[in-house]
Amino acid sequence: MKRNSDKPIKLTEVCLRDGSHVMKHQFTAEQVWKVAKALDEAGMHYIEVSHGDGLGGSTLQYGRSLVDEMKLIETAVEACKLSTVAVLLIPGIGTVHELKKARDLGAGLVRVATHVTEADISAQHIHLARELGMEAFGFLMMAHSAPVDKLVEQARLMESYGAQAVYVTDSAGALLPHEVRERISALRQSLDIEIGFHAHNNLSVAVANTLVAIEEGATRIDGSVRCLGAGAGNTQTEVLLAVLDRLGLDVGIDLYKMQDLAEEIVAPMLPRPQEISKGSLVMGHAGVYSSFLLHAERAAARFGLDSRNILVEIGKRKAVGGQEDMILDVAAELAKTKQEV
Q: Extract the annotated binding site for Mn(2+).
A: 18, 198, 200
Q: Which of 199, 259, 192 is nearest to 232 (CA)?
A: 199
Burial class (CB in 10 A: 0-12, 13-18, 19+), 131: exposed
Contact 251, 216 (CB under 8 A): no
Query: Of these residues, 21, 51, 115, 125, which one is catalytic?
Result: 21
Cα distances from 105 to residues 49, 60, 84, 102, in angstroms, run 12, 25, 12, 5
CA distance 51 to 73: 10
Determine the residue type at 27: F
* 21 given a catalytic annotation: yes
Instruction: List residues forming the annotated binding site for substrate.
Output: 17-18, 171, 198, 289
CB atoms near residue 308 (< 10 Å): 17
CB-CB neighbours of 81 under 10 Å: 8
Q: How far apart are CA 258 and CA 142, in angstroms?
A: 28
Q: Would strands 194-198 and 165-169 be described as parallel, antiparallel, or unpaired?
A: parallel
- Residue 197 and residue 167 in contact, taking contact as beta carbons nearer than 8 Å: yes
Burial of residue 341, with CB atoms counted within 10 A of its CB: 0-12 exposed, 13-18 middle, 19 or more buried? exposed
- Tell me which residues are annotated as active site: 21
